Amino acid sequence: MVIERPGTDFLDRLYYGGTLPVEAERLLHEAALSYSDTDRAQRYLMEAFVRFPGHVPVYIACYKFYFYKGNLPEALRYAGLCRDYMARKLGFPEDFGAVTPAHADFEDYKSDPRFYLFTLKAIGYISIRLGQFGEGARYVRKVRELDPLDRMGGSILEGLLEKAIRGESDDD
């Protein structure tokens, strides 16, 4: 389901290092072009999700779409899929709570372990936003443990959690 439009030659470019099938890339590009039409964008994303399972860029696109559309439960679901995929890929325990700094170098910005850490931070943030403070706190603690130098900004997430528990908005 590709619609030809003038000025869409960028649809032919590869943005994921050639690791994603070309048709999956096209579906993600079409979803981005259709962002303002939520139903249409979702159709493109779901087609990519069904046809190209196990491709992290598809999961990320779904996560970002739902996050920016304000559908936090769905964003949380896709962040969890990213976390689970990366845990399997890296040979980490299924339970994120059992992952320790000894499992990998979480400080390398271009590494899969950093991406795994990002998924933990995303899940923590969304959990806090959904009022799931206990779950959010578990993720915040894990991010802080795996990133003791705070390069991922876990301390900001920690502050957000504390404000949320006190009933303050993060704008205060």
| pLDDT tens digits, one per residue of 65-84 | 999 999 999 999 999 999 99
Mean pLDDT of 145-155: 94
Q: Is the residue at 1 inside a domain?
A: no
Helix (H) or strand (E) holding 149: none
State which residues form the domain around 24: 6-69
Q: Is the dihedral of CA 150, 156, 159, 165 positive or negative?
A: negative
Q: How many domains does the chain have?
A: 2
pTM score of the predicted model: 0.85
pLDDT of residue 14: 53
Residues 118-135: tens digit of each pLDDT: 999 999 999 999 999 999
pLDDT of residue 168: 85
Mean pLDDT of 43-52: 96
Closest CA relative to residue 12, chosen from 22, 4, 3: 22
Q: 103 and 31, same structural domain? A: no
Q: What is the DSSP string of 70-104?
A: T-HHHHHHHHHHHHHHHHHHHT--SSGGG--GGG-
Q: 78 and 65, same structural domain? A: no
Q: 65 and 94, same structural domain? A: no
